[in-house]
Amino acid sequence: MELMELLEGRRTYRRFYQKEISEEITGEILRAARLSSSAANKQPLSYVVIRSADKVNQVFDCTRWAGYLKPEDGQPGEDEKPVLFIAVVENLNINPDCDTDAGLAIANMTLAAWNRGVGSCIIGACNKPRLSEMFGLTEEQKLHTVVAFGYPSHKSRIEGVKDGDIRYYLDENRDYVVPKRQLEDVVTYM
């Protein structure tokens, strides 16, 4: 895919077909994370891959989806759940200030996934204490986010922000519409 086309399609997806993601693609997503830039090349991030149906369900139960929508619209249904989660863990003993590293790794992972037709949703709103316990994290390990993956069963498109309203919504086909601010509103040339 051409890069700008890839970036445009790499939206947040919240409903998925129950089709497995191959080990090859999962490996590619993780290799993309490894390739990301890191402040002082400290590489403070590690990853927990959750792929067994049982564990995926347990992680799913700790996540919250689409805060702007009613649960029946935003929360994936029983047969729409993601099939894979990758948790991004910050090892604070290596670098206590590594949120930018985490963002870059997540961007690489979600792009690599979309390059193979796999959609994703970054989840910050999750029960971090419960998940940290489930993943066996130590005191020096901080759960940054979990990223959900699956083959999307809906579309998502962007439009310009109208009247300052940045809330995404579902259209008549239950596809997501995501308002983005116009460049002229966020860019200054000097």
Ligand X SMILES: Cc1cc2nc3c(=O)[nH]c(=O)nc-3n(C[C@H](O)[C@H](O)[C@H](O)COP(=O)(O)O)c2cc1C
* 125 sits near ligand X (criterion: CB under 6 A): yes
Site for ligand X in 131-190 (CB under 6 A): 156, 168, 178
Minimal distance in Å, beta carbon 23 to ligand X? 26
Integer Cα distance of 7 and 157 in angstroms: 11
Considering the complex, state which of residue 34 and residue 167 has its C-beta at the smaller distance from ligand X.
167
- The span of 8-16, 22-30, 49-57, 133-141 binding ligand X (CB under 6 A) equals 8-16
Nearest to 128 by CA among 116, 113, 114, 144: 144
Nearer of residues 51 and 155 to ligand X, judged by Cβ: 155
Closest contact distance (angstroms) between CB of 158 and ligand X is 7
CB 85 within 8 A of CB 146: yes
Q: Which is nearer to ligand X, 69 or 92 (CB)?
A: 69
Q: Which stretch binds ligand X (CB under 6 A): 18-26, 48-56, 58-66, 135-143?
A: 58-66
Q: For residues 84 and 59, is the Cβ–Cβ distance under 8 A?
A: no
**49/122 with CB nearer ligand X:** 122
With contact defined as beta carbons under 8 Å apart, do 29 and 149 qualify?
Answer: yes
Return the residue of 33, 88, 113, 121 that touches ligand X, per CB under 6 A.
121
Question: Please, what is the minimum distance in Å from the beta carbon of residue 56 to ligand X?
Answer: 16
Element (H, E) at 159: strand 156-160
Give the contacts of 172 (CB within 8 A, at least 6 positions apart).
none
| Three-state secondary structure call for residue 11 | coil
Opening angle at CA 17, ends 24 and 21, nearest 5:
10
Which residues contact ligand X (rule: CB under 6 A)?
A: 11-12, 14, 64-66, 121-125, 156, 168, 178
